[in-house]
């Protein structure tokens, strides 16, 4: 959510900045509503003021033993007028809120122009794509030899799910453990275990609601019909982890907060029909190790670089070639002001594919969840900045390992960083 003050004082600037995203909205409507809001709010508050002072004088008169009947007559119609004013104001404020909540974050000045992912700009490349002197297989063919099974998953669930058994399941788990340990030991993150189902408020805090409900799996508690009790499966650990601190005022000495969490992620992939239907790339359920940082405003862009390098550390440790791109305005996520994607080399697709997305949200999420800090005791609380990034998406990392570490006979070499986690075996065959 953008600051309402900013929308009021610098609407033109906001509109201009959002052009980079190709996003526009009805500014005339917003300004009209804001004008009405002002009139109605003043009227409502005046009535409330009147009610408060009248009520107080009734109290005093009663305590003094005076006759309060004439005073009561004076306020007889006040309640009705106040109710009317309040409900009118509520309608206006709800409308304003709906508009404001649907406006995405303003891109940082360093975000390049562009409409689609084709306009993203490569920042750097790491590692050389491997050369193979045999006909390579993709991760589906390779994985099926070793316990990766989509047919059975479809039988017990549906498309876009997977089953893994044996060494494949172990490799998948080893990757998760490795990533968690790496970030805890090398990068100073605190491990967090969090719920996999969250309420609407948390999703509103990070920006998935109200606009992107169709991307989520929504559940209903047994026997309950009300919206209030609906829980959603998390699309990313970003939601529960960032919301750990919602509504809090953090002490400066506790900043930055750095959390790492491993969770499954659930996405409906509505609107992705027919896209990436083969293999593990786009699943309804996948594992991710997520990095979240909560920082002082002045540190956030420095931290974005740092957090991205933490995610890169995993790719480097696993010796997987990758490149780093900065997302153009048109490809930027709703809540993000700046995002780097890390894309891993997939030999069978002969291309780089996203494996991590690292974003700075400035105070966009913090404002929605009232996440603040106090510079010093005498200062007013200020909004913090939030950041997160995948460190990494586990399923896609598994894909990368299968494809990059394959041998001619279909066996898979274990990356040296993972050996400890794989019971010291060298090879899956």
User: Strand, coil or helix: what is 284?
Assistant: coil
What would the x/- binding string for RNA be over residues 73 to 112, using CB under 7 A?
--x--xx---------------------------------
Does residue 350 touch RNA according to CB under 7 A? no
In the complex, the smallest distance separating the C-beta of residue 49 from RNA, rounded to whole angstroms, is 4
Query: Which C-beta is closer to RNA: that of 56 or that of 302?
Result: 56
Distance CA 343, CA 392 (A): 11
Considering CB under 7 A, how many residues would be counted as binding RNA? 36
Distance of CA 395 to the CA centre of its chain: 19
Distance CA 419, CA 174 (A): 9
319 neighbors 371 (Cβ within 8 angstroms): no
Query: Which C-beta is closer to RNA: that of 27 or that of 309?
Result: 27
384 neighbors 372 (Cβ within 8 angstroms): yes
Instruction: Round to the nearest angstrom and report the end-to-end CA distance of the chain.
Output: 51
Which 246-285 residues touch RNA, going by CB under 7 A? Answer: 249
Which 42-61 residues touch RNA, going by CB under 7 A? Answer: 42, 44-46, 48-49, 51-56, 58-60
The pair phi, psi for residue 215, each rounded to 5°, is -85, -5
Exposure string of 345-379, with b = 16+ CB inside 10 Å and e = fewer, is bbbbeeebbebbbbbbbbbbbbbbbebbbeeeeee
Other CB atoms closer than 10 Å to residue 98's CB: what's the count?
Answer: 11
Q: Name the one range near RNA by CB under 7 A: 209-217, 223-231, 397-405, 410-418.
A: 223-231
Query: Which C-beta is closer to RNA: that of 229 or that of 419?
Result: 229
Does residue 195 touch RNA according to CB under 7 A? no
Closest CA to 234 of 199, 279, 184, 271: 199
What would the x/- binding string for RNA be over residues 380 to 399, using CB under 7 A?
xx------------------
Does residue 378 touch RNA according to CB under 7 A? yes
348 neighbors 279 (Cβ within 8 angstroms): no
Does residue 62 touch RNA according to CB under 7 A? yes
Query: Which C-beta is closer to RNA: that of 229 or that of 278?
Result: 229
Query: Which C-beta is closer to RNA: that of 165 or that of 219?
Result: 219
Does residue 229 touch RNA according to CB under 7 A? yes
Q: Name the one range near RNA by CB under 7 A: 34-42, 189-197, 253-261, 411-419.
A: 34-42
Distance CA 267, CA 286 (A): 9
In the complex, the smallest distance separating the C-beta of residue 57 from RNA, rounded to whole angstroms, is 8
H or E stretch covering 399 = helix 394-404
In the complex, the smallest distance separating the C-beta of residue 2 from RNA, rounded to whole angstroms, is 12
What does each C-alpha distance from 121 to 29, 107, 254, 340 come to in angstroms? 36, 15, 35, 10
Q: Name the one range near RNA by CB under 7 A: 148-156, 298-306, 327-335, 378-386.
A: 378-386
Query: Which C-beta is closer to RNA: that of 69 or that of 185?
Result: 69
The residues that touch RNA, with contacts defined as CB under 7 A, are: 4-5, 38, 41-42, 44-46, 48-49, 51-56, 58-60, 62-63, 72, 75, 78-79, 224, 228-229, 249, 370, 372, 376-378, 380-381
């Amino acid at each position: 959510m953008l600051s309402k003050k900013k929308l009021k004082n610098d609407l033109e600037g906001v509109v201009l900045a959002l052009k980079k995203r190709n996003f526009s909205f009805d500014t005339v409507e917003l300004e009209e509503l804001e004008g009405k809001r002002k009139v109605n709010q003043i009227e409502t508050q005046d009535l409330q003021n009147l009610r408060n002072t009248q009520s107080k004088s009734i109290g005093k008169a009663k305590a003094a033993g005076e006759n309060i009947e004439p005073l009561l007559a004076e306020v007889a119609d006040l309640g009705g007028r106040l109710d009317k004013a309040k409900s009118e104001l509520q309608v206006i404020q709800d409308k304003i809120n709906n508009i404001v909540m649907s406006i995405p974050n303003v891109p940082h000045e360093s975000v390049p122009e562009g409409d689609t992912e084709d306009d993203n700009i490569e920042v750097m490349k790491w590692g050389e794509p491997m050369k193979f002197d045999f006909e390579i297989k993709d991760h589906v063919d390779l994985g099926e030899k070793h316990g990766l099974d989509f047919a059975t998953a479809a039988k017990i669930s549906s498309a876009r799910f997977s089953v893994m058994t044996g060494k494949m399941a172990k490799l998948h788990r080893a990757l998760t453990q490795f990533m968690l340990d790496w970030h805890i030991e090398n990068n100073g993150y605190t491990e967090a275990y969090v719920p996999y189902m969250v309420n609407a408020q948390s999703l509103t805090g990070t920006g998935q609601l109200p606009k992107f409900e169709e991307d989520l799996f929504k559940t209903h508690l047994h026997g309950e019909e009300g919206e209030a009790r609906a829980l959603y499966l998390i699309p990313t650990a970003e939601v529960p982890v960032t919301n750990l601190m919602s509504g809090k005022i953090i002490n400066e000495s506790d900043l930055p907060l750095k959390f790492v969490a491993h969770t499954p992620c659930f996405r409906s992939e509505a609107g992705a029909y027919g896209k990436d239907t083969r293999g593990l790339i786009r699943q309804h359920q996948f594992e991710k190790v997520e990095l979240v940082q909560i920082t002082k405003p002045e540190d956030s862009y420095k931290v974005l670089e740092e957090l991205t390098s933490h995610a890169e550390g995993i790719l480097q440790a696993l010796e997987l070639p990758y490149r780093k791109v900065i997302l153009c305005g048109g490809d930027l996520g709703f809540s993000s002001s700046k995002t780097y994607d890390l894309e891993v080399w997939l030999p069978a697709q002969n291309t780089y594919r996203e494996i991590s997305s690292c974003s700075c949200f400035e105070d966009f999420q913090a404002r929605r969840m009232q996440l603040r800090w106090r510079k010093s005791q005498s200062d007013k609380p200020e909004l913090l900045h939030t950041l997160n990034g995948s460190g990494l998406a586990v399923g896609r990392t598994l894909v990368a390992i299968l494809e990059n570490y394959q041998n001619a006979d279909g066996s898979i070499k274990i990356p040296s960083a993972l050996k400890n986690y794989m019971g010291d075996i060298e090879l899956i065959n």
